[in-house]
A and B are shown apart, each in its own frame.
Chain A
Amino acid sequence: MTLLKRSYSKLGCFDYFEQRSKCILIKDGSNTKIREVYLISEGASELAISVRPVHAGILIGRLGNRLVLSLEGAGIAYRAGCKIPFVTVNENGEKLILYGRDVFGQSIIDASIDIRANQNLVILNNKLEVVAIGRARYPNPLLFKKDSITVMNLLDVGYYLRLQND
């Protein structure tokens, strides 16, 4: 729990998740060192504790040494005002992401100032909705570099649909 609270603080969403402390469920993942963190309604959490389900609520992240947010978790945390590094892409960039492609510099229209190379971030569309989780290949000023992939797409909202179609 301490690790989780420390992660909340680091993400700047301590208050948001602390208010929902009753609705956070932690369960051992397939790798026992990594635990899974779920956001769950109070009624469902009571049941999940007494009769163990295969899944409950929304998986918001995985907890090892720190909390690594899932795509859904990143979306919830971003909407809650957490300080998550981001890049915003234009409509064309959004389309490419939903096909599983990486992000070219010319598609980026905004980015957090303090992004470092290899840092994980959220990719937002022009309506500021989280459409993917990515990793920066360069620090911020270089993220806008034309004709080169500057952010790698790690997981996007179109992933499952593509998986089904394959």
Chain B
Amino acid sequence: MKVSIFPDSNISKALSVEFGYNEWMISRYLEFIPSLKECLLAMEISLPKYIRINTLKISKYDLIQRLVKKDVVCEETILDDVLLIKKFRYPIGAMTEYLLGYYYIQDLTSCLAVEELDISPNQFNLDMASAPGGKTSFISQKMKNFGCVVALEPSSRRIRALKFNLSRCGVSNTCIYKLDGSFVERLGLKFDRILLDAPCSCEGIIAKDPLIKTNLIPRKIESCMLRQVELLRSAIKVIKPGGLIIYSTCTFAPEENELVINNLLETNTNIKIEPQKFGERGLIKYGDIKLDNRLVDTRRFYPHFHNTSGFFIAKIRVLEGE
């Protein structure tokens, strides 16, 4: 499938000049990002910093006490384990508490993806693209270090980072396999929960990496989409009946979000898209393409609405007995 390119306009030209984007990106954004100018403005400032408290090692109360003593100003968020860092004197990625694994620097949306997995201890869960380990360690935390988490990562270099982060966070219920997620069937295992935070074109983190504004090409979105469809098909093959898959990306592109799920709905009759608590509704129409109505239950997160990076989450339940 080709990436939809929309006609340029005076608005797209003006915005692309003002914010330094490829014009074709702005023309696309005008189709599906509400209040686009506010969104672009929000992506000009650095992303808010969130930390996830690692309750495997420290209680929320104790960590907050320690941070306050070090002049860190933090605020509660919609998730109990996540704090918004408003002010800090020392770099929060180099503090003793960080090195001891008491917290993990992680965007709120990444934590929301794990939250939606409905995790309980003693499950058998899979993280299909696990490095550097933020979401994997949060899954383990939610399982209280019981049960088992299978973490897949094809790159040796990224496995090193994954091992470090899991050890730092005191995670003992994880097995790491050097394997591309598309080959997960080879393990011969079935899972209760699967997290697929798919590799994507990363439009949602432009604030962190502004080069994306000019370096992104439509082919990159196409290749990501093909990979995402492949990974999601592999996930469907290894989920237990009644199990839950969370599909997420940090991009705005509907081709990598709703269209991937639309493709899945077309080819699988035994799945259901479950509603979520937070975020904006997913698209059910994109340009001239009419999408499955069930996609309304997927969720989009925007920097200007949610004070997070751009993100997408779909909660896919595989029905039992079919």
Question: What is A's interface to B at a CB cutoff of 8 Å?
Answer: 23, 39-44, 46-48, 51, 53-59, 72, 76, 94, 98, 125, 129, 131, 157-158, 160-161, 164
Contacts and interface: CB of A to CB of B under 8 A. Distances in A.
Interface in B134-149: 145-149
Majority-rule SS of B interface residues: mixed
Contacts of B161: 164
Contacts, number: 84
Interface in B92-108: 93-94, 96, 99-100
Interface of B: 93-94, 96, 99-100, 122, 124, 145-150, 159, 161, 163-164, 166-168, 170-178, 187-189
B172 A39 contact: yes
Contacts of A164: 161
B122 A57 contact: no
B186 to A, nearest CB: 10
A53 to B, nearest CB: 4
Given A57-B174, A58-B170, A43 B159 contact: no
Given A40-B172, A44-B175, A55-B176, A161 B99 contact: yes
17 contacts: A40-B172, A43-B122, A43-B124, A51-B175, A51-B177, A51-B189, A53-B175, A53-B177, A54-B177, A55-B163, A57-B173, A72-B167, A72-B170, A94-B96, A125-B96, A157-B96, A161-B99
B148 A47 contact: yes
Contacts of A98: 94, 96, 99
Contacts of B175: 44, 47-48, 51, 53, 55-56
A39 B147 CA distance: 14
Contacts of A47: 148, 150, 175, 189
A16 to B, nearest CB: 14
